Amino acid sequence: MFGAGIAFLIGVCCVLYAPALAYACVCLGVSVVLLWTLRRCSQRKLLAAFCCGCAWMLWHAHLRLADALPDDLQGRDLQVQGSIVDVPVTRGEFTRFAFDIDAGSTAHTLPRRVRLSWYDNPPALAYGERWHLTVRLKRPHGLRNPGSFDYETWLVQHAIRALGYVRDAPGNRRIAPPTGAWLSATRQHAATALENVGYRHGALLSAITTGLRDGMSDAQWRVLRATGTSHLFAISGLHVGLVAMLGHLLCSVCWRFGNVFTESVSRARFAACGALSSAFCYAALAGFSVPTQRALIMLTVLLLGVFAARGVRPGASLGAALIAVLSVDPWSPLGSGFWLSFGAVAAIAWLLSGRVSGHGKAVAFARVQCGLALLLAPLTLWFFQQAPLLGAAANALAVPVVSLITVPSALGGLAWAGVFSQFDNPLLQLADTSLEFLWMLLTPASGWSHAQWAPPAASWTAITLAASGAVLLTAPRCPLPRYLGVFLLTPLLFPVLQRPPHAAFDITVLDVGQGLAVVVETRHHVLLYDAGVYLSPTYDMGRDVVLPFLRRRGWRSVDKLLVSHADNDHAGGAAAVAAALEVSEILTSVPGSLASLHAARKCVAGNRWHWDGVLFEVLHPPSGWPGGRNDKSCVLRISTGARSVLIPGDIERPAERLLAGSPATLRADVLLVPHHGSATSTSAQLLAQVRPEYAVISAGYRNRFRFPHRQVCARLRARGIGILSTATSGAVAFRVDPVAVSAPVRYRQLRRRFWHHAPQGELCTTQ
């Protein structure tokens, strides 16, 4: 069964990770032919499981892709009716929620599930409510950058096939909530009570009881990530398994002292029913999230052996659980939780197999924690580009506290509150006190500068070798010498950095939506020009896009941060970068306007420096020039030999005329189009001076400014300039050496999967 489960998983992944469904169809066809041909092969069952997994995923992929928003309905006002199907999240002045549209409620063919935002002080919204709304929708489109969160993959995994917002219309009205909304109301009421009653760690208590983590602060997340304990505050298999164990223990005690069940039901079966019932109730309290569904399926498969009164081998249980989980949700391998959940179960089974310890339970527990941290490190590095060095020690302390004290007392406290609401709640007080004790120990540990290990991006080869090395090092018995495991870890511990050669540089225009962030790398130095927008603690391009890219490329510091001007879409993310990495020097045209960058110096025309055979020149603004805010943008030209790149920020026509009349050389092979393609910039006079081969436009998809302007597109096309837009290409990268400029690398096309949005039409437009 274990082999069949792995084969089924490979079949599903063959479709999920194919660049196009045609490749998966060909693979399935070849496998079916082989299955028919090799009728007497001993491995025919594995091939059959592979074919089943591949066919099952292809069918689900077809259904999900068919549930798409027609292109001609993007940006139009639509009347819809349906239900709110998750807990609405309020961020400042807007609320975001998932919305299921009723079939037949509109004359148009719309996706079943959409994600909506309601701006400008929306009414109070609740899970399960039904509404009639006027909305505007667009196809799912996320930022595409190396190392960043893949929003489009998250959307397709959750069956969300369109994004949009609620229009301010008189027809928006609430319809009576459906039957069964009491569960969601209970979850929301419990979360609100825990966060507002006065407990110091109410948000954490809400996270481990209801699964709602929106109240957790950035500081709390930083501590959990640095110590590798964030999984303890996301309801997952660990928590569901713990509650199942408590239910099993309670029912075992009840069976022993209750003669009613002794003759009709065995103790093992009665306790198994209690375990499964307890886990089901806890999953319901957590809203039946994807991790809890996965844990319930795995627990059910495991307990089937108990109900059947026969032993089940761990490998067979794991294989059966794999098939069951993938049959219910074949999209689950797109999430890190799937791999970490099954990886953790497999790792624990591996660590406990064939071992007899005479050193006591404490030593055995410590060995399991250390081995688990080592075995899961390759997966953690692959998904999160970092691994907590304190993970084993922190979890050895945190797991017993959370498992034995916090979770049982928090759940008991919720039950107490439901029965004795007029009295003080000693159980919740105990849970809060346990978290206070834990926080006193985790907070200083998280402040250690080396608490997180964040190596450069590792390849599949390095991850596979490292995983093999970890298995070898933790094997109970192995014919191979264990020191080979250390050698297998070497590619991960000492990665080869992909740096440009001397007198060459790499330039990457990151996809930060309606903003700008450019990374320039030479052999030994890195420059960051702008850092994107900061809108809220949950939407910071400096933290979410720029930092992951720099860490992926192996940079632990920034030699120079150049902030072109004070607009938020250029300077907003700079504070996060400066706080997370050591920045040697900061240049900006408005040093007094950026309070977060107090050490900044003013960039002035004539500033120049050399790095590794590459020349950097600031061409604008001149000292004392009284231009407008956009026209004061720092203009940077980077050159090596006969090839160069020009980054003009947000300058407009007055600054362009000044530059065109200056003695500075403007000729460049690559031009970052000024001001995101606004009609007030990119004049014919500037283009005549620069004469670029490529023009890169950093703009948001379907942005409200309707950039780039048609006039700008027409001027670029008239000169035969290759046009690239981050809205349609994702991050755009070039390598420039003294002789040539490489062909552009478009990250959206490079890493595309079949569900990723591929905007149609000309690259110059984002409309």
Please give the average per-residue pLDDT across 91-97, as a whole number. Answer: 85
Which pLDDT belongs to residue 762?
A: 45
Percent of the chain whose predicted confidence (pLDDT) is above 90:
43
Cβ partners under 8 Å of residue 387, min gap 6: 228, 377, 380, 381, 452, 453, 454
Distance CA 428, CA 198 (A): 11
Which pLDDT belongs to residue 643?
A: 97
**CATH for the stretch 71-179:** 2.40.50.140
E strand or H helix at 657, and its extent?
Answer: helix 653-660
Which pLDDT belongs to residue 258?
A: 64
Strands 614-620 and 745-746, sheet pairing: unpaired
Encode pLDDT of 608-660 as tens digits. Answer: 999 999 999 999 999 888 888 899 999 999 999 999 999 999 999 999 999 99
Which pLDDT belongs to residue 733?
A: 97
Question: Using H for helix, E for strand and C for coil, what is the string for 303-319?
Answer: HHHHHCCCCCCHHHHHH
Encode pLDDT of 679-702 as tens digits. Answer: 999 999 999 999 999 999 999 998
| Residue 333: closest CA among 283, 389, 383, 278 | 383
Q: Which fold has domain 505-750?
A: Metallo-beta-lactamase; Chain A (3.60.15)
Residue 628, number of CB atoms within 10 A of its CB: 13
Which pLDDT belongs to residue 732?
A: 97
Q: What is the pTM of this model?
A: 0.88
DSSP 8-class letter at 646: E
User: For the packed helices 336-352 and 237-257, what is the interaxial angle rounded to 10 degrees?
Assistant: 60
CB 240 within 8 A of CB 295: yes
